[in-house]
Amino acid sequence: MAKAIARKLKLELEAGKANPAKVGKDLAPTGINLLQFCNQYNEMTKGQTGQIVPAEITVFEDRTFSVNLKTPPVAFLLKKYAGVEKGAAKPGSETVGAVTREQLRIIAEIKLPDLNTTNVENAMKMIEGTAKNMGIRIEQDGNQET
């Protein structure tokens, strides 16, 4: 028989750096062992240091839990590849950086498991929209495209 689910949460944490102080306010009310969660998350993400890796946590009524990792957020990946700290304050009239079509394809391939498409071209269009909203332009072979 399947365990009864008490709650589902989603946290965006830096890979390998979860600690009870960071996750306490979100997870303490569920009654799960915070140190056990942090150790499990850090072990699962140890090869992705420096990235933000979202975790979907399913808490069961007996206070056990399961952790399912997702791919890093599109905004995080775009900022990383564009080499910027944050998106534009006024997207559309301000450009903070640029990514190439090849970098866009790499991001799309990373995010593909979490998107509602299996086509890389469609995934690239979704990510391109996010880039535009962040003030990051897409370059075609070194030339400005959008």
Q: What is the mean pLDDT of each run of 10 residues along the chain (146 residues)?
A: 84 91 90 93 89 92 91 90 86 84 91 87 90 88 53
Query: Facing residues of 10 across strands?
Result: 56
pLDDT of residue 60: 92
Q: Are strands 5-14 and 97-100 parallel, antiparallel or unpaired?
A: unpaired
Residue with tokens 């997870």: 27
Q: Check: CB of residue 37 under 8 Å from CB of residue 57.
A: yes
User: Which among 94, 99, 85, 89 is positioned nearest to 131, based on CA atoms?
Assistant: 99
pLDDT of res. 66:
93
Residue ranges and CATH numbers for the domains of the chain are: 5-69 (3.30.1550.10), 74-140 (1.10.10.250)
Report if pTM > 0.85: no
Residue-level pLDDT at 145: 52
